[in-house]
Amino acid sequence: MNNFEERYTAWLDGALDENERERFEAGLPDCEAARAEATEWAKLRGLLRETLVPAPMPHADFLNSQVLAAIHREEPKTESAREVVGRGWFSAGRLAWAGAFLLAVAAALSFVLVPRNGGAPTESQFISQVVDARSSDPKLGAYAFAAPGGKGAVLWVTDAGYIPANERIK
């Protein structure tokens, strides 16, 4: 303690040992006045502590809910951080390789499964136009597919919930 203020504070709080207290009091110009002031401070401190005791805070339960909500808001951040770590396996390079692999598989499948050399029937515009022209129902659609080699045809009729008895396609 270097100065008067520090020593006085310690004296007031009873933080000086016996020797320090005697030396301090001996150095006071008016020890009785200082003691009277200390007594007054003790009264004021008592009143202060008696008056400013913690009172129940207003909207106390609201505080609890706010704190818990803030804590829960932080939890998803932690989880999303974990997700980011988890997503680390799906790096851009790996995704690109996976995409290329899938494209290659799709190309191979189409090569094997899709028939070539005219295997697929081609739609005959002529037959379709004939069916459309002959049908009296405008909603009725008809598509005709020519069989390979011109050996036959497939007629595909759409939107025909039923075919009325008097409906004739010639």
Partner 1 sequence: MDSGELANEADLLARSRTGETTAFDQLITLHRDRVYMVAYHILRNHEEALDVAQDTFVRAWRSLARFDGTSSLRSWLTRIATNASIDVVRRRQSHPQTEFDAVPGMAIDAASRTTPSQPAKPSESLDRAEIRTRFEQALGTLSDDHRAVIVLKEIEDLSYQEIADTVGCSLGTVMSRLFYARKKLQDQLRDLYEQL
Q: Which residues of this chain interact with partner 1, rule CB under 8 A?
A: 1-3, 5-6, 8-10, 12, 15, 37, 40-41, 43-60, 63-64, 66-68, 70-72, 74
Q: Which is nearer to partner 1, 52 or 114 (CB)?
A: 52
Nearest distance, CB of residue 48 and partner 1, angstroms: 6
- Residue whose tokens read 């200390």: 38
Nearest distance, CB of residue 22 and partner 1, angstroms: 20
CA torsion sign for 40, 42, 47, 49 is: positive
Q: Which is nearer to partner 1, 43 or 151 (CB)?
A: 43
Whole-angstrom distance, CA of residue 83 vs CA of residue 67: 25
The answer to whether 107 and 118 have CB atoms below 8 angstroms apart is: no
Amino acid at 122: T
Q: Which is nearer to partner 1, 54 or 161 (CB)?
A: 54
